[in-house]
């Protein structure tokens, strides 16, 4: 595996989404194919001023920002080091005065920006008032006007003040403000110290502003507090209309990009992209930069497969991002959701395919081959996305919140709104493994192991590798070792766990353990019996339908919360094994149930619970409960344990199947 960075989402059109990965760039070395690349330690913090060292930059009195506090602190440090701006983020639940009065008092009391080279900036959130405010010192007013900051606070912060997404929303806003300050400095609207104007980040802005293609004129003509998302009048909308010709739609997109036409209602974009554009601010500098990179990469090459198209380049400019289009009702629309959801960039600013599970993979081969992640858009069954969201919003149960979150993330890629819904689902069912695992998977995909780890640890068994990967990603190799040790306690012959153990031993300088582990790996893979190949369960169908609102009569017994599926038990090794136990539990949003050992549900041709090499057995069953459990879905968890005949080595594996209710189309 070639060395590459921890995955970063592009800033470009949606600056806010890029904040998810702010200061997460780390170079990784080659790792075994079954082991995730390890992060290097986080960069050291920039020296803080005396004033800032006396008062923490992040003060979370109202407990809104966890687990984002360390990341926000690093972002605040970067503002001070790179821009000379003293940034404070404060949450409070005081209600005696208005948010405006509180912001002004805190700014004065803490003397924010007193010793900073350029000025001070305060973000304050108050859940009791359901309010947020951005207060800036007078030296920054040329870049961050009251009108502009008021709009950002109202639209990007206030909606999330009362939910678990507040930390994510603050990250988005800080990333956007950083971009805005750099642009203001390059345009001469604020002054930076000489040493900051020679930094690489600033010089890139200055180069664009002073370069060709009318960049300075274009950016200078946009007021710093302009609302770039205002509705385009009817007489001008044809300039940005989708076409039945893919090339014409791309040209319309380039016009919208060059004109900073951020109207989120433009039909040029897919429905999910319109939602994305509605919920994130438009960054003029990034719009212009993308436009110029596409222009510099012409002629474009158009690859079409069915209703999907990719506009790419055989000689792309540095930082070029392809244009993805989806044909709907005969018109080609720009799909920014699939663009930013699947294409991330490395430390050199080159884009690569993070996720191959996208309908555009056929046209993205030049961007590498990503792993397959479950981030594909949720099928909408020909029902508009907004109608699905509106219909689900009328329900207040765990599955409605769960699917709202999935739609916001997978179909619109609006993470603060998605995280708000995931947190609602978690509050409704704090121990629900489906909710917890999904939150962890989404956070891990986007580079936030700090969010993934507590969710995964709440589930525990069966997720040892996910936890090892999350700890490794967070730079905590000792934590990764703990979970690999647990995986090897379950199955000492698990080849993936052994490869992880060798990888971690190498990284931690334990040569003796790495050597012994490699010897065991070699011994297992040379064995004709392949004891490392496990006993596996297969479920038919993969996601059975769950019926929480009807009952069945089974052998004269009334059955609630039922589903029907089959289970195949297979010995994948080349030796005979004996099944010791298959312990079954059911979990969901209500109380868990222990269903005991079900190894006798299968009939074994050899008898004695034995399976020969590669042999499998199967049964089908109507599953359910004799009481109404209150579950809105059920996860059946199977822990299978076995031994090779004549062997004393016990091996276990935990698997599960999620049964989910059918959600009818919205009215």
Q: How many residues does the chain have?
A: 667
Residue 648 and residue 592 share a domain: yes
Please indicate, yes or no, whether residues 119 and 262 belong to a single structural domain of this protein: no
Residue 262: the pLDDT is: 93
Whether 14 is in a domain gets the answer: no
Q: How far is it, in rounded angstroms, from Cα 449 to Cα 440?
A: 8
**Eight-state DSSP code of residue 224:** T
Assess whether 55 and 198 both reside in one domain.
yes
Integer CA distances (angstroms), 371 to 352, 414, 450, in order: 11, 22, 21
Sequence-ordered alpha helix ranges (H) in 280-409:
284-296, 336-342, 385-393, 398-406
- State residue 142's pLDDT score: 86
pLDDT for residue 53 is more than 50: no
Question: pLDDT band for position 3 (50/70/90)?
Answer: very low
CATH number at residue 635: 2.60.40
Indicate the residue among 478, 501, 526 that finishes a domain: 526
| 68 vs 647 pLDDT, higher one | 647
Name the percent of the chain lying above pLDDT 70.
90
Instruction: Please report which confidence band the pLDDT of residue 168 belongs to, taking 50, 70 and 90 as the band edges.
Output: confident
Tell me the pLDDT band of 221, cut-offs 50, 70 and 90: confident
Is the pLDDT at 9 greater than 60? The verdict is no
Say if residue 98 is in the same domain as residue 195: yes
* Residues 563 and 462 grouped into a single domain: no
CA 534 – CA 625 distance, rounded (Å): 31
Q: Which of 220, 255, 281 represents a domain boundary (last residue)?
A: 220
- pLDDT higher than threshold 60 for residue 661: yes
pLDDT of residue 39: 33
> How much is the pLDDT for 215?
64
pLDDT surpasses 90 at 360: yes
Average of per-residue pLDDT across 392-401: 90
Report yes or no: 158 and 116 within 8 Å, Cβ to Cβ: no
Bridge partners, residue 134, by sequence: 123
Same domain, 395 and 357: no
Number of domains in the chain: 4
Q: Tens digits of per-residue pLDDT, 27-51?
A: 233 345 444 433 333 323 333 333 3
Whether residues 486 and 395 fall in one domain:
yes
- Asked if the structure places residue 20 within a domain, the reply is no
More confident call, 237 vs 224: 237
- Domain of 324 in residue numbering reads as 234-367
Same domain, 349 and 238: yes
Same domain, 428 and 512: yes
Query: Rounded to an integer, what distance in angstroms lies between the CA atom of residue 548 and that of residue 634?
Result: 9
pLDDT of residue 575: 97
173-196 tens-digit pLDDT: 999 899 889 988 988 889 999 999
Spatial separation of the C-alpha atoms in residues 308 and 227, rounded to whole Å:
32
Q: What is the CATH number of the domain that holds 187?
A: 3.10.310.50
In a domain, residue 35? The reply is: no
Residue 233 has pLDDT above 60, yes or no: yes
Q: 212 with 239, same domain? A: no
389 and 510 within one domain: yes
| DSSP reduced 3-state for 598 | coil
* pLDDT at site 207: 79
> Is there a domain that residue 1 lies in?
no
Cβ atoms of residues 75 and 174 within 8 Å:
yes
pLDDT tens profile 105-162 = 999 999 999 999 999 999 999 999 999 999 999 999 888 999 999 999 998 899 888 7
Domain membership of residue 9 (yes or no) is no
Name which of 146-160, 301-315, 481-495, 533-547 the model is least confident about.
Answer: 146-160
* pLDDT tens, position by position, 453-465: 999 999 989 999 9
Q: What is the pLDDT of residues 417-443, one digit of tens each?
A: 998 999 999 999 999 999 999 999 999
495, pLDDT greater than 90: yes
pLDDT for the residue numbered 46: 34
- Per-residue confidence (pLDDT) for residue 227, from 0 to 100: 81
Reported as a pLDDT band with limits 50, 70 and 90, residue 282 is confident
Element (H, E) at 617: strand 616-625
Rounded Cα distance between 199 and 107, Å, is: 29
Residue 18 resides in a domain: no
Share of the chain above pLDDT 90, in %: 74
Residue 280 sits in a domain of what CATH number?
Answer: 3.10.450
- 273 part of a folded domain: yes
Q: Average pLDDT, whole number, for the chain?
A: 88
Same domain, 494 and 631: no
Residue 524 binned pLDDT confidence (cut-offs 50, 70, 90): very high
Look at residues 526, 549, 575 and tell me which one is the last residue of a structural domain.
526
Specify the pTM: 0.84
Residue 310's beta-bridge partner residues? 303, 324
pLDDT at 162: 76
Q: Assign 519 a pLDDT band (cuts: 50, 70, 90).
A: very high
Mean pLDDT, residues 632-660 taken together: 97
Domain membership of residue 194 (yes or no) is yes
Q: Which H/E stretch holds residue 611?
A: strand 610-611
* Better-scored residue on pLDDT, 653 or 21: 653
Model pLDDT, residue 214: 59
> Domain containing 393 — which CATH number?
1.25.40.10
């Amino acid at each position: 595996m070639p060395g590459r960075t921890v995955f970063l989402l592009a800033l470009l059109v949606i600056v806010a989404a890029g904040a998810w990965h702010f200061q997460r760039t780390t170079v990784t070395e080659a790792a075994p194919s079954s082991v995730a690349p390890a992060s290097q330690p986080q960069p050291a913090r920039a020296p803080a001023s005396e004033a800032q060292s006396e008062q923490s930059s992040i003060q979370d009195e109202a407990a809104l920002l966890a687990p984002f506090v360390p990341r926000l602190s690093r972002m605040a440090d970067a503002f001070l080091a790179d821009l000379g701006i003293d940034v404070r983020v404060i949450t409070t639940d005081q209600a005696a005065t208005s948010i405006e009065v509180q912001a002004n008092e805190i700014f004065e009391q803490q003397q924010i920006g007193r010793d900073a080279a350029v000025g001070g900036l305060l973000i304050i959130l108050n859940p009791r008032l359901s309010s947020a405010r951005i207060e800036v010192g007078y030296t920054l007013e040329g870049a961050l006007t009251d009108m502009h900051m008021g709009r950002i606070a109202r639209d990007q912060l206030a909606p999330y003040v009362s939910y678990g997404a507040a930390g994510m929303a603050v990250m988005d806003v800080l990333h956007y403000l950083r971009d805005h300050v750099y642009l203001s400095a390059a345009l001469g609207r604020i002054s930076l110290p000489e040493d900051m104007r020679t930094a690489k980040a600033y010089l890139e802005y200055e180069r664009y502003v002073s370069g060709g293609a009318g960049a300075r004129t274009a950016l200078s003509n946009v007021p710093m507090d302009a609302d770039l998302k205002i509705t385009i009048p009817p007489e001008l909308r044809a300039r940005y209309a989708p076409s039945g010709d893919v090339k014409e739609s791309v040209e319309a997109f380039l016009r919208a990009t060059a004109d900073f036409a951020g109207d989120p209602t433009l039909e040029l974009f897919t429905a999910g992209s319109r939602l994305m554009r509605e919920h994130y601010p438009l960054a003029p500098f990034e719009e212009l930069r993308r436009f110029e990179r596409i222009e510099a990469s012409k002629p474009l090459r158009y690859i079409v497969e069915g209703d999907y198209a990719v506009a790419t380049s055989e000689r792309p400019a540095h930082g070029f991002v392809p244009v993805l289009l989806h044909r709907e009702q005969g018109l080609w629309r720009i799909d920014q959701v699939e663009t930013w959801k699947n294409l991330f960039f490395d430390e050199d600013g080159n884009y690569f395919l993070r996720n191959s599970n996208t309908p555009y993979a056929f046209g993205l081969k030049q961007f590498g081959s990503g792993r397959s992640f479950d981030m594909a858009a949720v099928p909408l069954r020909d029902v508009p996305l907004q109608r699905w969201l509106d219909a689900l919003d009328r329900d207040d149960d765990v599955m409605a919140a769960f699917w709202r979150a999935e739609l916001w993330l997978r179909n619109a890629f609006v993470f603060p709104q998605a995280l708000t819904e995931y947190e609602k689902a978690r509050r409704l069912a704090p121990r629900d493994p489906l909710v917890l695992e999904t939150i962890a998977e989404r956070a891990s995909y986007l580079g936030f192991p700090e969010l993934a780890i507590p969710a995964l640890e709440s589930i525990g068994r069966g997720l040892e590798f996910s936890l090892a990967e999350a700890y490794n990603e967070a730079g905590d190799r000792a934590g990764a070792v703990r979970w690999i040790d647990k995986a090897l306690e379950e199955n000492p012959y698990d080849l993936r766990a052994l490869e992880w153990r060798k990888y971690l031993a190498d990284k931690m300088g334990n040569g003796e353990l790495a050597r012994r582990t490699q010897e065991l790996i070699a011994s297992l893979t040379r064995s004709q019996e392949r004891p490392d190949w496990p006993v596996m369960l297969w479920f038919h169908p993969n996601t059975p339908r769950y019926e929480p609102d009807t009952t069945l009569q089974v052998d004269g017994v009334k059955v609630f919360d039922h589903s029907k599926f089959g289970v195949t038990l297979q010995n994948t090794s080349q030796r005979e094994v004996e099944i010791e136990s298959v312990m079954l539990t059911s979990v969901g949003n209500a109380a868990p149930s222990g269903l005991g050992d079900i190894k006798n549900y299968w009939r074994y041709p050899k008898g004695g619970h034995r399976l020969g090499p590669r042999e499998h057995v199967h049964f089908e069953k109507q599953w359910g409960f004799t009481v109404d459990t209150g579950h809105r879905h059920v996860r059946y968890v199977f822990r299978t344990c076995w031994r090779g005949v004549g062997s004393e080595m016990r091996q276990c594996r935990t698997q599960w199947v999620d049964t989910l209710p059918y959600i009818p189309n919205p009215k």
